[in-house]
Structure 1
Amino acid sequence: MAKKQFMLLASLLLVLSVFLAACSGKDKEGSGEKEPGKEPEKEQEETKGEDEEEAEESSTNIDFPLEVSNNAEPIEDGEMTVGMVTDTPFEGTLNRVFYSGVYDAEILQYFDERLLASDGDYLITNEGAAEYKLSDDKKTITIKIRDGVNWHDGEPVKASDLLYAYQLLGHPDYVGERYTFLIQNVEGMPEYHAGETTEISGITVSDDDKEITITYTEATPSLMSGIWAYPVPRHYVGDIMTGETTIEEIESSDKIRMNPIGFGPYKVAKIVPGESVLFERNEDYWRGKPALKSIVLKVVSTATVLESLKKGDVDLASIPTDQYLNAKDIDNIEILGAIDYAYTYIGFKLGKWDEEKKENIMDPNSKFADKRVRQAMWYAMDNETIGKELYHGLRYPATSLIIPVFESFHDADLETPSYDPEKAKALLDEAGFVDVDGDGFREDPDGNEFVLNFASMSGGETAQPIAQYYMQNWADVGIKVQLLDGRLHEFNSFYDMVKADEPKIDIFQGAWSVASDPDPSGIYGRTSAFNYSRFTSEKNDELLAAGTSEKAFDPEYRKDIYKQWQALMADEVPVAPTVYRYYLTGVNKRVVNYSEEPGSENARPWKWAVSE
């Protein structure tokens, strides 16, 4: 079976390379780009035995360093170039309240930061730009900003700037995706959000504007890892509370898109939209002088990232896991890596987002109203072969929607579907989906044609083969699936369609980078706009509420609640997790003070440096 699956994937990759070469319309010789997927896949097929050995070894004994080994004296005014590895332009919505894409988040980390720091377990500490105190009943937190914490234009960061972030997030006109549980849980926020008042009763600011007190309706352990502590510079972006501007005007303004400010270690000096950002040292940074004089962050395609690292065009860049074997041969870099705070999944469209009610609404006429169809499609997916053959063991089958990094809450014993085509066929038969006309594909219980439109993102050499492989998996059990519009879609347009509940989309392949709080309600809650499958149930509501309740301060109680929730989602299958993954970072050997270790100072850009 493994031989057959590998050959299928190899053939798909070879077909893809020819397709891209024919349709790209680019002068590959002139641009210096390789034809995506051509040489690596040919070599992989020819040296299969050797690569299989390496894949098996890596999947059972993966051990990457988390910090660079270079401990030389750094250059006083060094410069660094960082690659943003993507095949699509970044959107450029550079504010925590409004952004939605991972690439914009990557830009934000250099010039913007949270007032409260966190430790290696992602729990808030008093080591940041502000200190906090929690009341005995754990319902009220008081945050005091340190002296000397200033915005990039020299104005002090004020407690009222943090209040302003809450006023934006909870405003009736806010259409972003971050009006989540911890925002809703602030006393008076529901009334403010409904437009019944212009004040948030649970938030007060001291007379000197250095201290803010936030009171919550319910005590919740999520406060310690998920509190919103990103202020917004009211004086700079404009004040919606006075009618000076509107939320829509702020989000589309140059003060967000082209000239954003923060209080982080670097200032935004220049943006080439969608392509690059030049950061210059913030001499007034509250922690002290950042090590580097400047950082250039630029888009690098997945096809050219290894060549860019090899040539030294970039000092730091993520390495696509499908290119790991080639990356190991680059002499001037070190490869760092660990299990990622992320997973990939197949989502089933079960309803729509109701903009008026601000909640997800299930559609009883969805093609996936019968959960046995969703379960069958999960059983049909061969995720193990995907991880082993395309990613050299650096991705492996996912089981739960709470990732293994959260060791206390991830249910390693959860029984979930694994590759079993016969089980998939039996479930479909049971649900009444049978092949009526003998064409090899099943009709629905009413005898109607059952065809699914599959939306998936472009990017990297493996995107097309993976989509084709899953479609073949489903075809093997009699389900006809076709790519939406006959092709993959670019990152931004893909998520625009998924978020807008494009009627043509039946299933989609997405990925989540998860937050530091294990609470999954921000992605799977009834009122979460990020809940792209639109799944809701009373049991889901009950368990998600319990997981953030005052009782959940008891870790054993919270662990049991999330165990029940994981079992519920494995049974209902609004989304089917496909693979967990290792992330890899290529770092030039001239880089010092760089770490991927959570909680390490060297994981923060202000400490990064380069040597001679």
Structure 2
Amino acid sequence: MKKALLTLLTLMLLCISSLAACSEKEEKSDRKLENTQLSLPKKAPQTGGSITVALSREPEGIFEPAFSTSIEDDDVQSFTTESMYQITNDLKYVPNLATWDISNDKKTYTFHLHKGVKWHNGTELTMEDWKYSLEVLANAQYTGPYFEHVSLIKGAKEYHDGKSNHIEGLRIIDPYTMKITFNDVHTTNLEKLWPVPMPKKVYQSIPIHKLFNSDPVRRHPIGLGPFQVTNMSQDGEIELEFFPNYWKGRALLDKVTLKVVNTPSMERDFKKGSLDLASIDAASMNQLERLQNIRISKIRGSIYSYIGLRFGHRDNQRDKNVDDLEKFKNKKLREALMYALNRSKMIDDFLDGQARVTNSVLPSTSWLSLAPKEFIPYEYNPKKAKKLLAEAGYIDRNDDGFVEDPSGQEFQISFGHYAGSALFESRAKAIIQAWKDIGIRTQLSTGSLIEFNLYNDMKEKDDPTLEAFIGSWYIGADLDPLPLWGSNAAWNYGRYKNEKSDQLLEEGIGEKAFDDAYRKNVYREWQKLFNEELPILPLWEKTDLFAISNRLQHVEINSLTPFNHVEKWSVTK
């Protein structure tokens, strides 16, 4: 569920912590790939049976979403917890546990809870449970990482700082109705709001700073989902059983087991029928495709990779970016760097084909994304790249095979890439060689690939050796680009500034943007501006791969998660 719950901040942090792994498993789809789902005819659902789902690593064993940060824990929570809203395949937010109305001034949302929703211990869900959850996240003693998800509520910061004993923006009308007032008018208020209630009657006797290690969070979780935890083994295997009083009706499956399955054993386990669903990489796909009792699902994901360009530095005291470096300010130079890259060949060579060339920084699955034909494609064209360099004044004046800058000075790019897969070094060399081939002297920053955590630290501190650098972002369901590409955004690591871009990004979350058509048009204009200005060099968009046993039916996978509507999953007998 984490992919449907976390805002951009948390998802980015998750991706940063596992980026090397993401990049290795990320891609392989041919460049014309559309989402590939189940090819078998769906049979009428049957009640009963059990399945086994593979986890890539052992879960941390945190069953309360407000405290967990691992994808493995999130996978478990996808079966055991529920959210106020759901996210559609095109990344729109729609009601789930609650519906809502928006006030005329767009600051107050009135949420209406479904009646009769039961916790796993049999008590009824009320708005007190959600209010308590929001208060926990805003409390100064809260030890989890998601305060940002409540900070936008009026009075939450004052409550957090001890200046108030309540959150002004939270008001319960009756057990099934609550009004939430936000500080500002933003279309993303709902998208960023923490949507998961907590069982107040169970948690309230536990000091907030002790909740993280408490029994109901670690050992005997109480959720709202279609399945409940029945057993946890010491090696991380988790057994779930259907919850008979689930508010949408009994799940079709009786039991679900989630356990760590190493890549080498997947083929064997699928072959003998002891595994039903697994996230896989391209190498595993090539092996598993030979099996007759499984199918492979290829889905456009929400991770894109790019090459960042350094325009300045971060002034942390003023919380602003300063664009004081001239190297990449010539747009024709940026265009030349882009045309020099054979992205299709890089996908084939280093990602086993499992990716799509992208010219955007919004997921192609989003309702806000443009059609590929609306972008400048920047198809590989080294001749055009050389022509652009010459037009911009980058000319080889001493016949050494490399251009000098317009003032006649030696021009060189220091390019950084993090360490990880053996293919990363080859990928870095291919980028460096592509730029050398058009006459730009390029060297690897520090002379070698950089340890991953150090690399991220260097980006954040604007290390001068990272003039150009490779990166990836996992966007998830939060489609607001402002935290990444706003002129003063901390995660705008290139420190690129553009007033027109900022204006459009602000309009995209402003009051007029509550009209979907208006918002889509604003982001259309912004995406075209970003594509034309090239503050970064977009590379590819990841493809998620899943292996599914043929006996497991009615699985719906999207760019966020494979665990959609798990109560509808069934097995053939």
Give the match for residue 382 of structure 1. Answer: 342
CA distance in 2, matches of 1:470, 1:595: 37
Identity of aligned residues (%): 27
1:163 aligns with 2:131: yes
Counterpart in 2 of 1:309? 270
Distance 1:137 1:290, change over 3 A: same
Residue 116 of structure 1 corresponds to which residue in structure 2? 85
Counterpart in the other structure of 2:357: 397
* Residue 202 in structure 1 maps to residue 169 in structure 2: yes
- CA apart distance, 1:315: 0.8
Letter in 2 for 1:334: R
State the shift of 1:598 in Å: 9.1
Whole-angstrom distance in 2 between the partners of 1:295 and 1:272: 14
Q: Distance in 2 between matches of 1:252 and 1:510?
A: 35
* 2:55 alignment partner in structure 1: 84
Distance in 2 (CA, whole Å) between partners of 1:124 and 1:168 is 24
Q: Which of 545, 554, 557 is residue 584 of structure 1 equivalent to? A: 545
| Aligned mate of 2:240, from 279, 293, 300 | 279
Aligned to 2:11: none
Q: Is this contact kept in 1: 2:299–2:559, CA < 8 A?
A: no
Aligned residue number for residue 330 of structure 1 = 291
Structure 1 residues 518-597: aligned runs within 5 Å: 518-525=479-486, 531=492, 533=494, 535-596=496-557
List alignment gaps of at least 5 residues for structure 1.
1-35, 38-53
Distance 1:289 1:599, change over 3 A: farther
The one-letter code matched in structure 1 to 2:130 is L
Match of 1:453?
416
**Secondary structure at 2:85's aligned position in 1?**
coil
Please give the TM-score of this superposition, normalised by the length of structure 1: 0.71
Whole-Å separation in 2 of the counterparts to 1:387 and 1:275? 35
Instruction: Give the distance between the partners of 1:575 and 1:94, measured in 2 at CA.
Output: 38
1:183-198 alignment to 2 at 5 Å?
A: 185-189=152-156, 196-198=163-165
In the TM superposition, residue 104 of structure 1 has moved relative to its aligned partner by 4.8
Counterpart Cα distance in 2 of 1:133 and 1:577: 38
Q: Deviations over 1:263-301 (max 9, x none)?
A: 222334566799654434334433333333332333445
Report the residue type matching 1:593 in the other structure.
H
**Is 2:92–2:367's contact at 8 Å kept on the other side of the alignment?**
no
Map residues 195-594 of structure 1 onto 2, 5 A cutoff: 196-206=163-173, 208=175, 210-222=176-188, 227-233=193-199, 244-246=207-209, 261-269=222-230, 277-301=238-262, 305-321=266-282, 324-348=285-309, 359=319, 361-362=321-322, 364-365=324-325, 375-388=335-348, 394-410=354-370, 412=372, 413-415=374-376, 417-425=378-386, 450-455=413-418, 457-458=420-421, 465-477=426-438, 478-482=440-444, 486-487=448-449, 493=453, 497=457, 501=461, 503=463, 507-516=468-477, 518-525=479-486, 531=492, 533=494, 535-594=496-555
Distance 2:101 2:67 in 1: 28
Q: Give 3-state SS (helix, strand or coil) of 1:345's partner.
A: strand
Q: Give the SS at the match of 1:83.
A: strand
CA distance in 2, matches of 1:508, 1:423: 23
Q: CA deviation at 1:595?
A: 2.5
Structure 1 pair 60–114 and aligned structure 2 pair: CA distance change class (3 A): same
Kept in 1: contact 2:99–2:112 (CA 8 A): yes
Structure 2 counterpart of 1:514, which letter? I
Q: Distance in 2 between matches of 1:195 and 1:254?
A: 28
Check if 1:64 corresponds to 2:36: yes
**Shift in CA distance, 369/326, structure 1 to aligned 2, threshold 3 Å:** same
C-alpha distance after superposition, 1:74-115 (max 9, x if no partner):
462x22221235xx7667766544555655543432222212
Cα distance between partner residues in 1 of 2:456 and 2:60: 12
- The more displaced of 362-371 and 548-557 is 362-371
State the alpha-carbon separation in 2 of the partners of residues 74 and 264 from structure 1.
20
Determine if contact 1:64/1:337 at 8 Å carries over to the other structure.
yes
Closer, same or farther in 2 for the Cα pair 1:62/1:130, shift >3 Å? closer
Distance 2:446 2:213 in 1: 30
Q: CA deviation at 1:448?
A: 8.4
Counterpart CA distance in 2 for 1:273 and 1:474 is 51
Q: Which amino acid letter does the alignment assign opposite residue 400 of structure 1?
A: S
Aligned-partner residue type, residue 173 of structure 2: S
Range that drifts further, 219-228 or 325-334 = 219-228
User: For residues 397 and 365 of structure 2, what CA distance do their matches in structure 1 show?
Assistant: 46
Task: From 79, 90, 112, give the equivalent of 1:144.
Answer: 112
Deviation at 1:546, TM superposition (A): 0.3
TM value normalised by structure 2: 0.75
Distance 2:490 2:70 in 1: 14
